[in-house]
């Protein structure tokens, strides 16, 4: 059974160990709905989490460069110098 985060209409959050597929629970007389926000998680021995926003943007640019090749710079509104600065070169 996984741990999910649930949110009430009042904005309160709780985490509960529930069966897969559980969408709603009642706890302490309050109705809670499973949160749709992405959550980080970890496996025993190796932590895995959500990448930072900067890393997500870099990954997006990398995917675009791989898909479009040299055509990426033709449509980009950024100069080569700005792109190198964003990549940390």
- What mean pLDDT is predicted for residues 67-78? 70
9 and 39 part of one domain = yes
Domain limits at 73?
51-87
55 and 39 part of one domain = no
Q: What is the pLDDT of residues 13-69, one digit of tens each?
A: 898 889 988 999 999 899 999 987 766 666 666 666 788 888 888 888 788 778 877
37 and 14 part of one domain = yes
> Does the predicted TM-score (pTM) go above 0.85?
no
What is the total count of domains within the chain? 2
9 and 43 part of one domain = yes
User: Which one has a higher pLDDT value, 66 or 75?
Assistant: 66
7 and 31 part of one domain = yes
Q: Please report the pLDDT score of residue 61 as a whole number.
A: 78
In whole angstroms, what is the distance from residue 37 CA to residue 41 CA?
A: 13
42 and 55 part of one domain = no
11 and 43 part of one domain = yes
In whole angstroms, what is the distance from residue 78 CA to residue 19 CA?
A: 48
41 and 56 part of one domain = no
Contacts of 66 (CB under 8 A, 6+ apart): none
């Amino acid at each position: 059974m996984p741990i999910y985060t649930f949110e009430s209409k009042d904005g309160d959050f709780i985490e509960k160990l529930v069966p897969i597929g559980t969408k709603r629970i009642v706890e302490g007389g309050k109705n809670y709905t499973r949160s749709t926000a992405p959550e980080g998680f970890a496996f025993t021995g190796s932590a895995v989490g959500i990448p930072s926003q900067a890393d997500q943007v870099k990954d997006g640019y990398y995917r675009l460069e791989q898909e479009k090749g040299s055509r990426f710079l033709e449509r980009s509104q950024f100069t080569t110098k700005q792109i190198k600065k964003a990549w940390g070169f």
